[in-house]
Amino acid sequence: MLDLLNLPGVQPVDLQYDEGVIIIDAQVDAAQPPACPSCGNTLYRHGHRQIMFADTPQQMMPVRLKIDRPRYRCADCGKTLMPELAFLDEKRRVTKRLVGAIRERCLSRTFHGLADETGLAVNTVKNIAQDLIDELDTTVRYETPVIMGIDELNLAGSYRCIITNLATNSIYDMLEKRTQNHMKPFFRKLPDSENVEWVCTDMWRPFKRSFGPYLPNAKLVIDKFHVVKMASEALEHERKQHQAQLGRKERLRLKKSLRWLTLKRPHALTVDEQQDMALLRQNMPALAEAYDFKELFYQIYDEPDKASAMQAFEAWENTLPESKWPRFHALARTVHNHYSDIFAYWDAPARITNAYTEGLNGIVKMANRLGRGYSYDMIRARALYADHARKVGRGSVLPDSTTTPQKHVEYGPYIPTLADENGE
Ligand SMILES: [Zn+2]
């Protein structure tokens, strides 16, 4: 029989099909009896044992090797022995090449899909994936970001803390929770922590308290999008108050919803929307006034330097009517509470923002598609070690299970690639 197995030390002797599974009988090549590992005497044959091992699929069917293995016994000490076959993973009852094939695929394919294809139990696939992840956690290291983003992301039922490299637009790490208990140890153990020059986060206080003591050279800048978002939310509050005042006739003449219209920036309005806006100014001057006020706040960020930005904010605040718009008043207070961290935006060498929302949505979609049965650890590994995002501009990055793992430094998975990830 032609050796289609190509496994050293065994020969295929028979092949059967059994309910969609290929079963290959294999015989171990004749060899000299081994020496007893305890006393050194030559062993004698002591029967044989048939053991099934899963192998890589063929003809799109799972493959089982039924290997007839000789056993030996020592006449002196009574020890019995079954010589090892180097290509087998004895513990899992699979060939090492099948383990390798699963390692290559388990971070991009579903465990169920791989289990169906190989005939292995889902848990076996999961265990192989877990071993790979543990290995990746100790061998792969991404370069500590000089400009670091800290954000939150609702993933697999909880808010997770996402650490990004804003200079390379890649993910650096992900923490299970965004509490100080999870963040402090992360920052305490962060390698090259002195390299971090800028940290961009939202206004959530525990972020600052968590990294403050551990990043000696880092300056905080509050993310622009979190700040201007509050102006949009304040306007939304006003819009809801005014919505009811709009007559039926006017409502019919608006081509888009009032919400859509008022959240848009003026330069982004289409010709139709500009007409809607004119209609709004005519019929709802109070809402139009609030809209202009939101816009005025956004324009603070168009200022070229810190001093003029501070002046623009002051001017904005001074024109804020005392008797109305409680949400805009709250926004003004928030800006004062985080004043230096917000205006640090103009100190940074580049305009730093966490404007990678689209890409992070890619991770959320991936997690949702996987659904239940995937722990946070697995989702994190898929986001952090997904080959397709990591190999942007590089070769394959999965460690080979047969070589000694070596540390190599890279930048982490590229967020735009994660954004259009479409796995199984
Ligand atoms: Zn012996």
Q: How far is the CA of 370 from the centre of ligand 1 (A)?
A: 53
Can you give the pLDDT at residue 341? 94
pLDDT of residue 72: 94
Contact 342, 333 (CB under 8 A): no
Instruction: Tell me, in angstroms, the distance from the centre of ligand 1 to residue 80's CA.
Output: 9
CA–CA dist 131, 127 (Å, integer): 6
- How far is the centre of ligand 1, averaged over its atoms, from the C-alpha of 47 (Å)? 17
9-18, 237-246, 348-357, 383-392, range with greatest mean pLDDT: 9-18
> Does 408 have pLDDT greater than 70?
no
Q: What is the pLDDT of residue 409?
A: 65
Helix, strand, coil in percent for the chain, rounding step 5: 45, 20, 35
Instruction: Using the mean position of ligand 1's atoms as its centre, give its distance from the Cα of residue 38 in Å.
Output: 5
How far, in Å, from the CA of 43 to the mean position of ligand 1?
Answer: 8
How far apart CA 85 and CA 80 sit, in angstroms, is 16
Q: What is the DSSP letter of 399?
A: P
Distance (Å) from CA 76 to ligand 1 centroid: 5
Which residues lie closer than 8 Å to 358 by C-beta, 6 or more apart? 416, 419
Alpha-carbon distance of 338 to 343, in angstroms, equals: 9
Residue 73 CA to ligand 1 center (angstroms) comes to: 8
Is the pLDDT assigned to residue 238 strictly greater than 80?
A: yes
Dihedral (Cα; 176, 178, 184, 186), 10-degree rounding? 40
Three-state DSSP state, 257: coil
Please give the Cα distance from 188 to 181 (Å, whole number). 11
From first CA to last CA, the distance across the chain in angstroms is: 38
* Ligand 1 centroid from CA 87, angstroms: 26
Segment among 203-207, 298-302, 331-335 with least mean pLDDT: 203-207
Q: Which amino acid is at 388?
A: H
How far is the centre of ligand 1, averaged over its atoms, from the C-alpha of 172 (Å)?
Answer: 55
The pLDDT of residue 205: 75
Distance 28 CA to ligand 1 centre (A): 23
The Cα–Cα gap between 402 and 327 comes to: 61
Question: What is the average pLDDT value for the chain, to the nearest integer?
Answer: 86
What's the gap in Å between 74 CA and the centre of ligand 1? 5
Q: What topology is assigned to 140-222+353-419 in CATH?
A: Nucleotidyltransferase; domain 5 (3.30.420)
**Which tokens hold the place of 24?**
């290959």
Tell me whether residue 414 is exposed, middle or buried, using C-beta atoms within 10 angstroms of its C-beta: 0 to 12, 13 to 18, 19 or more.
Answer: buried
Which residue would you say has higher pLDDT here, 384 or 389?
A: 384
pLDDT of residue 253: 60
Distance (Å, rounded) from C-alpha 100 to C-alpha 383?
Answer: 20
Closest-CA residue to 148 (of 389, 283, 348): 348
- For 16, half-sphere exposure in the C-beta direction (CA atoms, 13 angstrom radius) is 5
**Torsion sign over Cα 361, 366, 370, 375:** negative
What pairing do the DSSP bridges indicate for beta strands 198-201 and 61-73?
unpaired
**CA 127 – ligand 1 centroid, Å:** 36
Q: Give the number of other Cβ atoms within 10 Å of residue 204's Cβ.
A: 15
- The per-residue pLDDT for range 284-322, each reduced to its tens digit, is 888 899 999 999 999 999 999 999 999 999 999 999 988
Which residues crowd ion ligand 1, with CB under 5 Å? Answer: 36, 38-39, 74, 76-77, 79
pTM as predicted: 0.77
Least confident of 186-195, 327-336, 369-378: 369-378
In the predicted model, is pLDDT for residue 419 greater than 80? Answer: no
141 alpha carbon, distance to own chain's centre = 15
Q: Ligand 1 mean position to 93 CA, how many Å?
A: 27
Average pLDDT estimate for 255-261: 75
Ligand 1 centroid from CA 32, angstroms: 16
**Of 118, 84, 85, 123, which is closest to residue 104 (Cα–Cα)?**
118
Q: Compute, in angstroms, the gap from residue 40 CA to the centroid of ligand 1.
A: 6
Rounded to the nearest angstrom, the distance between the alpha carbon of 402 and the centre of ligand 1 is: 32
pLDDT of 398 over the 50 cut: no
- Separation of 78 CA from ligand 1 center, angstroms? 6
Taking 90 as the threshold, does the pLDDT of residue 346 lie above it?
Answer: yes
Q: What is the DSSP letter of 299?
A: G
pLDDT digits (tens, 9 = 90+) for 48-68: 999 999 999 999 999 999 999
Q: Tell me the average pLDDT across 214-219.
A: 92
